[in-house]
């Protein structure tokens, strides 16, 4: 069970997320406007290409389409610097001012190839060679610049009035990593300056919330080239948040929801994946270990936990009285992602998931499935993100039943049962055709990141068929062997991605229970260091993540630093506090909370952490 499917196009990390924002709400225009805008942006890409060829005549042209939110053009050229982009933008201004007409002309294929060979444009030659021999090939000329293109464009370069180059990054010719690495310059264009300004402001807002930026700034995680892409290192603070989440989920499963815990290997023999079907269908996505010529067993790092837990079930004979059995495991899984897909923590090669498989009798299925949905909802509510989530009933595609196991009538009936559960729980949901697992329908909890890209955070899958493949059974009242049903589910999905989501949702200002540093003690001078230390020890003993700022800096400076670190509580201590055994409390929630006896403060924060209370942020806090 994998929460998402691999996509292939290689784009810059940040923009790939932005570009795939297929239904991103904020900047999607109605269709005719969209077409006009695409024409404008495509015209801007010709202007960009002309500007680059003027300033860097050795650059070779590849392609330059309009895309969601802008346009790009790919060039075979060494990487462009920030200064280069500024110069290119200035050159574009001259081209726009010249207001040249974009004139269309056509050539036969042979003439077209000759023109592009003579112009020294090998990528264009390759594009033309792919067209039918009798095709009439269109070009557009503006001033001295000519580009192979099917159009359409605006009539004159002067029509492009509001534009901006945004970034540049590497991209493979035709998106294939076996090909030459090109340099892609991204830009955007709008019909009016205010529209452009709105978009740039939106983009900046998104950039500020990006978990990849905040997470590094707060020292939650980092990445190192020599270790590899998609393999983040969690620093002590980030690890602490992941651990808080993991302990919470494991405690909830083990003490409240009747799960038993398993610990199974990170890898297995290829035979296992042949049985599961992954070897045939998912081999490219797996890390395979070993050499078929030398090793008796080829192994692979696991992309899922399912069969490992099934074999625990199969280790002994089960009776109808033993069911349901709910196996939980905080499982480390591996996926060989395309390098272009990786962005911070949302696409990684190794990730941790609150994996679970429930083995149940058919008569228990509905109740257990309902409980899994209830558990997922509880997790979302506790994290404060339930309003960010869309519940989706993911169904089979009746027009493409070859993709699924089982009879369409049974699928329809199962989908109806899940629909009834969602209705009964009072959960609003959408239905999606063709999103089911091959073995059964599922409920997915969908969310969007700051770029508008949709992701599955939690999935709960109905499986009435796989027990057959793994020969799992139980003995019923009559002594007969019966196939159990199964539920594949996560409680929090992928921890790394959940952390990314929480960073973006809270902009790093986590609720106190999730904060890696919940309290910081600030002595007003070195004289009160001992008192500060005694407070730190008491808070630590009470299970609160606390530190003391022992630097000989001014109090104002220490407070500012603590704010940047987004710490919920600051305790300022000086002579009066030491004499009275009190602390002066400043919080992210109420600003100055006044002087309190230390024990009262400890009680208050302990309760807030224990009950996972989310206090509302003080809106003015940032400015004060």
Binding site for Zn ion (CB under 5 A): 1, 149, 306, 488
What residues form DSSP beta bridges with 315?
A: none
Quick one: three-class SS letters along 166-223?
A: EEEEEEEHHHCCCCCEEEEEEEEEECCHHHHHHHHHHHHHHHHHCHHHHHHHCCCEEC
Q: Helices 495-506 and 236-251 meet at what angle, rounded to 10?
A: 110
Nearest to Zn ion of 358, 385 (CB atom): 358
To the nearest whole angstrom, how small is the minimum distance from the Cβ of residue 124 to Zn ion? 12
Q: What is the four-CA torsion angle of 534, 535, 540, 546, rounded to 10 degrees?
A: -120
Nearest to Zn ion of 151, 594 (CB atom): 151
Integer Cα distance of 504 and 220 in angstroms: 13
Nearest to Zn ion of 1, 360 (CB atom): 1
CB atoms near residue 293 (< 10 Å): 5
Integer Cα distance of 511 and 248 in angstroms: 14
Nearest to Zn ion of 211, 488 (CB atom): 488
To the nearest whole angstrom, how small is the minimum distance from the Cβ of residue 218 to Zn ion? 33
Handedness of CA 490, 492, 494, 497 (dihedral sign): positive
Of the chain, the end-to-end C-alpha distance in Å amounts to 48
Nearest to Zn ion of 152, 258 (CB atom): 152
Nearest to Zn ion of 149, 458 (CB atom): 149
The conformation of residue 475, written as its DSSP 8-state character, comes to: E
Nearest to Zn ion of 279, 589 (CB atom): 279
What residues form DSSP beta bridges with 329?
A: 355
To the nearest whole angstrom, how small is the minimum distance from the Cβ of residue 302 to Zn ion? 11
To the nearest whole angstrom, how small is the minimum distance from the Cβ of residue 149 to Zn ion? 3
Alpha-carbon Rg for the chain, nearest whole angstrom, is 29
To the nearest whole angstrom, how small is the minimum distance from the Cβ of residue 184 to Zn ion? 16
Nearest to Zn ion of 38, 482 (CB atom): 38
To the nearest whole angstrom, how small is the minimum distance from the Cβ of residue 368 to Zn ion? 15
- Phi, psi at residue 298, to the nearest 5°? -85, 135
* Alpha helical stretches, state H, 56-118: 82-98, 109-118
To the nearest whole angstrom, how small is the minimum distance from the Cβ of residue 151 to Zn ion? 6
Integer Cα distance of 306 and 1 in angstroms: 8
Cα dist from 78 to 10, 30, 53, 391, whole Å: 18, 38, 13, 46
To the nearest whole angstrom, how small is the minimum distance from the Cβ of residue 42 to Zn ion? 5
To the nearest whole angstrom, how small is the minimum distance from the Cβ of residue 314 to Zn ion? 15
Q: CB–CB of 221/233 below 8 Å?
A: yes
To the nearest whole angstrom, how small is the minimum distance from the Cβ of residue 323 to Zn ion? 17
Nearest to Zn ion of 38, 595 (CB atom): 38
Cα dist from 276 to 268, 394, 460, 586, whole Å: 11, 22, 19, 56
To the nearest whole angstrom, how small is the minimum distance from the Cβ of residue 285 to Zn ion? 15
Nearest to Zn ion of 64, 344 (CB atom): 64
Integer Cα distance of 405 and 411 in angstroms: 9
Query: Which tokens sit at 553?
Result: 């800096």
Query: Which tokens sit at 509?
Result: 């200002």
Nearest to Zn ion of 331, 605 (CB atom): 331
Nearest to Zn ion of 149, 301 (CB atom): 149
Q: CB–CB of 299/269 below 8 Å?
A: yes
To the nearest whole angstrom, how small is the minimum distance from the Cβ of residue 355 to Zn ion? 7
Q: Helices 529-541 and 598-610 meet at what angle, rounded to 10?
A: 40
């Amino acid at each position: 069970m994998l929460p998402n499917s691999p996509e292939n196009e290689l784009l810059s990390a940040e923009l790939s997320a932005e570009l795939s924002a297929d239904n991103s709400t904020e900047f999607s225009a109605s269709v005719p406007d969209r077409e006009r805008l695409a024409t404008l942006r495509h015209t801007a890409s010709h202007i960009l290409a002309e500007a680059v060829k003027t300033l860097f005549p050795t650059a070779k042209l590849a392609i330059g389409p309009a895309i969601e939110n802008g346009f790009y053009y790919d060039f075979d050229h060494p990487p462009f610097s920030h200064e280069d982009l500024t110069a290119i933008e200035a050159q574009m201004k001259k081209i726009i001012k010249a207001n040249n007409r974009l004139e269309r002309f056509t050539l036969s294929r042979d003439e077209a190839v000759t023109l592009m060979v003579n112009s020294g444009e090998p990528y264009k030659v390759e594009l033309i060679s792919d067209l039918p021999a009798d095709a009439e090939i269109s070009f557009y000329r503006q001033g001295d610049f000519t580009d192979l293109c099917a159009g359409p464009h605006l009539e004159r370069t002067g029509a492009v009035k509001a534009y901006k180059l945004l970034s540049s990054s590497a991209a493979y010719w035709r998106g294939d990593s076996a090909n030459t690495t090109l340099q892609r310059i991204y830009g955007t264009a709008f019909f009016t300056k205010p529209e452009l300004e709105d978009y740039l402001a939106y983009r900046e807002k998104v950039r500020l919330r990006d978990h990849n930026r905040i997470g590094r700034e707060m020292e939650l995680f980092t990445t190192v080239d020599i270790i590899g892409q998609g393999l983040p290192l969690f620093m002590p603070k980030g690890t602490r948040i992941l651990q808080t989440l993991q302990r919470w989920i494991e405690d909830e499963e083990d003490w409240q929801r009747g799960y038993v815990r398993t610990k199974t290997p990170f890898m297995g023999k290829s035979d296992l994946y042949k049985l599961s079907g992954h070897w045939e269908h998912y081999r490219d996505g797996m890390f395979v270990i070993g050499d078929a010529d030398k090793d008796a067993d080829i192994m692979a790092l696991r992309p899922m936990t399912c069969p490992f837990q099934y074999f625990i079930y199969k280790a002994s004979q089960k009776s109808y009285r033993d069911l349901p059995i709910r196996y939980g495991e905080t499982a480390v899984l591996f996926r060989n992602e395309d390098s272009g897909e990786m962005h911070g923590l949302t696409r990684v090669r190794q990730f941790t998931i609150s994996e679970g498989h429930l083995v149940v009798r058919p008569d228990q299925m509905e109740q257990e499935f309902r409980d899994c949905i209830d558990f997922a909802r509880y997790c979302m509510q506790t994290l404060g993100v339930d309003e960010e989530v869309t519940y989706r009933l993911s169904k089979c595609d009746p027009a493409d039943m070859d993709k699924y196991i089982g009879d369409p009538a049974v699928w329809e009936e199962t989908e109806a049962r899940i629909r009834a559960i969602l209705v009964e729980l009072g959960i609003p949901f959408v239905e999606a055709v063709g999103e089911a697992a091959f073995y059964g329908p599922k409920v997915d909890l969908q969310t969007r990141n700051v770029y508008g890209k949709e992701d599955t955070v939690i999935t709960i899958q109905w499986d009435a068929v796989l027990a057959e493949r793994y020969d799992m059974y139980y003995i019923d009242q009559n002594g007969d062997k019966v196939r159990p049903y199964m539920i594949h589910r996560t409680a929090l999905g992928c921890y790394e991605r959940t952390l990314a989501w929480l960073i973006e949702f809270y902009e790093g200002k986590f609720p106190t229970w999730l904060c890696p540093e919940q309290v910081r003690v600030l002595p007003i001078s070195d004289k009160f260091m001992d008192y500060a230390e005694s407070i730190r020890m008491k808070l630590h003993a009470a299970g609160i993540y606390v530190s003391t700022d022992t630097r000989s800096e001014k109090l104002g400076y220490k407070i500012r630093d603590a704010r940047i670190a987004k710490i919920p509580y600051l305790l300022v201590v000086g002579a009066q506090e030491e004499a009275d055994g009190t602390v002066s409390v400043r919080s992210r929630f109420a600003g100055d909370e006044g002087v309190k006896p230390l024990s009262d403060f400890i009680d208050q924060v302990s309760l807030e952490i224990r009950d996972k209370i989310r206090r509302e942020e003080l809106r003015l806090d940032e400015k004060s």
